[in-house]
Amino acid sequence: MKKIDLTQMKVGETGSVVEIRGGDGFVMRTQALGIREGKKIRKVSSQVWRGPVTIEIDNLKVAIGFGMAKRIMIEKEDGKDEANPFNG
Amino acid sequence: MERMKRILLMGNPNVGKSVIFSRLTGVHVIASNYPGTTVEYTRGFMKLQDERVEVIDVPGTYTLEPTSKAEEVAVEMLKEGDLVVNIVDATNLERNLYLTLELLERNIPVIICLNMWDDTRHLGIDINVEKLEHFLRIPVVPTCGITGEGIKELVSRMPDALSPSVREHNRDERWVDIGRIVGQVQRLTHHHHTLLERLEDASIKPLTALPIAVIVIFLAFQVIRFIGEGLIGYIFEPFFENLYLPIVMKLSVFFGQKGFLHSILIGKLIEGEIDFGQSFGLLTTGLFVPIGMVLPYVFSFYLILGFFEDLGYLPRLAVLVDSVMHRLGLHGYAVIPMILGVGCNVPGALATRILEERREKFIAATLMSIAVPCIAQIAMIVGLVGERGGHNLLIVFSTLFIIWIILGVILNRSVKGVSSEILIEIPRYHLPQIGILSKKLWMRLLNFLMEAVPFVLLGVFFVNILYGIGIIDLSSKVFAPLMSNLLGLPKEAIAALIIGFLRKDVAVGMLGPLNLTTKQLIIGSTVLAVYFPCVATFAVLIRELGIKDMLKSALIMIVVALIVGSLLNLIL
């Protein structure tokens, strides 16, 4: 299974958080918003011009700046084979 | 004497602390549907078992390891509390419980107020309250702050609050515990998406969100103008002209139409008549400016702002403008101080606290003070400049917008330090409740009447005094070359710049009697918006930025005002 970051994920896709790359402060702040290793997320939207990524986690939507989103690593859920041209 | 007991309302951002606070104390504080509405703590009082106790609305915090200024305030407060009412969003139990577990490790009694209970049903969330009480070993009371459901029970169970003195855990241990608790007490069932929920996604996906934002902003402006103009045209102007004018005319005759008291209270007579725009007495212009011209717009602006605040739209707008704001050294959430600044620069300046870095605060505060005129000033500009044709208003406001962009880009490249990124919770949409909306509007209007109107009167009073003792004549002479050569304004306009330190709306009003050309009026209004904040904003900015940064900011303001004023003088 390939690890990708949040910005590489496509809108509508789901996956689990596998790694949060960053200092203690960053990890603490993302954890406080419910973003932790093992959590399932769905990408709701991305914005043009390296804008923030919005994800849904539990019942909550969180907007994450582009640079931060690059440091949150995701493993995509099964069933979405990248070789399948009808996906994404 | 024993110190009064102190109850702290603590919880994550945007769980409804301020609404609960109003319910408990009857003290109304501004509550909205976005994280970070409360940046300062508010105190109130309530009766608990016949004892008067102090209640404090603490700014929202995710953890007791503070990551922002507002959170620091929260943690500081904890040292002086006797009881914590931990407000928990029932629809986000897992994330909210982290703070709860941290609180249980402190040596202070805690009771849980499980708020937004009404939302759990339609979201398909089922929480077993007894089990939760059992696991946490403290009372848990489900509530709905907006309707007031459960508040009585919350109060009656406050004396049962306990401190289970849990040993200190580390972060991972707490999350493991939370996972276990939530797994036991909460069951999720499928729920159908409502129309509001579909709107939530549509207003954040760029393809639909951008057109929605454009329509929302355009409509908001139209409605604010429509209501403001309507109120002035049909209520306030007829009132002042038909009912109030005859009374002050009689008073003027009573004073013999001249003398010291007459000039302070009534002001100058224009061709033997009182002119509310030009007489500049306390009872004429002093009341007409704040009540007859500004209040209608304060009303319509805060009505519309309140609606979008309570709906939960502002954080979505923040996400949309984030990439543009990065070019100005800010991130998207900096639209909050800007938007609040349109109401009044004072809450706008306070709201810069939701930004983390000193550099961001400096840029946001400077840009707001320079390019975001408050509604009082806008109302006066609309009245005075708009009279000469709507396109002139467009010149003033697009000039300010261009300044905002260009200055932002310059500050982004020149101010040292780092800027952070947006990381915020996007709240669910809530249909605004008429009761809560009108209370908030009433508070803001009252605040305007109590805090702003005295300053307007003081401003009008000073105008008379400064003219009387010759200060204005003197400074007109001193600054005449600057005013006429650089800005193309008559030397008397310096009086407006002097009074602008006190109140911007009075200052714009002072341009009225000067018989300015349209071009001069545009330059005068723009320079007045840019050159310096009013004294109330200035005081808050010193506190928020520190004296050194404020002086830097003030220098930028004056330089920008001179450059922009001269440019307009050359171009127009």
In this model, does residue A81 exceed pLDDT 60?
Answer: no
Average pLDDT, chain B: 94
Using a CB–CB cutoff of 8 Å, tell me whether B91 touches chain A.
yes
Spatial distance between the Cα atoms of B31 and B57, rounded to a whole number of angstroms: 11
The single residue listed with the structure tokens 């931990």 is B86
* Domain range annotation of chain A: 3-76
In this model, does residue A38 exceed pLDDT 60?
Answer: yes
Under the banding of pLDDT at 50, 70 and 90, the label for residue B31 is: confident
Q: Quick one: pLDDT at residue A78?
A: 65
Spatial distance between the Cα atoms of B88 and B10, rounded to a whole number of angstroms: 9
B-chain residues near A51 (CB < 8 A): 206, 319-320, 322-323, 332
Using a CB–CB cutoff of 8 Å, tell me whether A10 touches chain B.
no
Give tens-digit pLDDT for B80-124. Answer: 899 999 999 999 999 999 999 999 999 899 999 999 999 998 889
B428 CA: distance to closest CA in chain A (Å): 8
CB B357 within 8 A of CB B342: no
Residue of chain A whose Cα is closest to the Cα of B191: A59
Ordered by where they begin, the domains of chain B are: 6-188 (3.40.50.300), 206-571 (no CATH)
In this model, does residue B489 exceed pLDDT 80?
Answer: yes
Q: Residues 6 or more apart from B556 whose CB is under 8 A from it?
A: B366, B370, B407
A15 membership: H or E segment, kind and range: strand A14-20
Q: Which of B355, B421, B428, B430 to mutate to test the interface with A (most CBs of A within 10 A)?
A: B421
Q: Quick one: pLDDT at residue B189?
A: 87
Spatial distance between the Cα atoms of A5 and B324, rounded to a whole number of angstroms: 23
Spatial distance between the Cα atoms of B334 and B348, rounded to a whole number of angstroms: 10
Spatial distance between the Cα atoms of B260 and B277, rounded to a whole number of angstroms: 20
Nearest by Cα to B319 from B213, B475, B447: B213
- The percentage of chain B sitting over the pLDDT mark of 70, rounded to a whole number, equals 99
Give tens-digit pLDDT for B196-226. Answer: 888 998 999 999 999 999 999 999 999 999 9
B63 CA: distance to closest CA in chain A (Å): 7
Across the range A16-20, mean pLDDT stands at: 96
Question: Domain A3-76 falls in which CATH fold?
Answer: SH3 type barrels. (2.30.30)
Q: Quick one: pLDDT at residue B199?
A: 92
Q: Which of B62, B204, B422 sits opposite A32 (nearest CB)?
A: B62
Which sign, positive or negative, has the C-alpha torsion B147, B153, B159, B164?
negative
Under the banding of pLDDT at 50, 70 and 90, the label for residue B547 is: very high
Residue of chain A whose Cα is closest to the Cα of B13: A33
Using a CB–CB cutoff of 8 Å, tell me whether B65 touches chain A.
yes
Q: Quick one: pLDDT at residue A84?
A: 46
Q: Which of B204, B423, B425 sits opposite A60 (nearest CB)?
A: B425
Length of chain B (residues): 572
Across the range B534-548, mean pLDDT stands at: 95
Contact B332/A52, CB-based, under 8 Å? yes
In this model, does residue A86 exceed pLDDT 60?
Answer: no
Across the range B338-347, mean pLDDT stands at: 96
In B491-530, the residues whose Cβ lies within 8 Å of chain A are none
Nearest by Cα to B15 from B127, B128, B108, B93: B93
Using a CB–CB cutoff of 8 Å, tell me whether A49 touches chain B.
yes
Using a CB–CB cutoff of 8 Å, tell me whether B205 touches chain A.
yes
Q: Quick one: pLDDT at residue A1?
A: 67
Across the range B270-276, mean pLDDT stands at: 92
Q: Which of A24, A54, A61, A70 to mutate to test the interface with B (most CBs of B within 10 A)?
A: A61
Q: Quick one: pLDDT at residue B71?
A: 77
The single residue listed with the structure tokens 């006797």 is B82
Q: Quick one: pLDDT at residue B507?
A: 97
In this model, does residue B194 exceed pLDDT 90?
Answer: no
Q: Quick one: pLDDT at residue A87?
A: 42
A30 membership: H or E segment, kind and range: helix A24-32
Q: Which of A29, A36, A49 sits opposite B67 (nearest CB)?
A: A29
Nearest by Cα to A29 from A63, A73, A79: A63
Q: Quick one: pLDDT at residue B276?
A: 95
In this model, does residue B478 exceed pLDDT 50?
Answer: yes
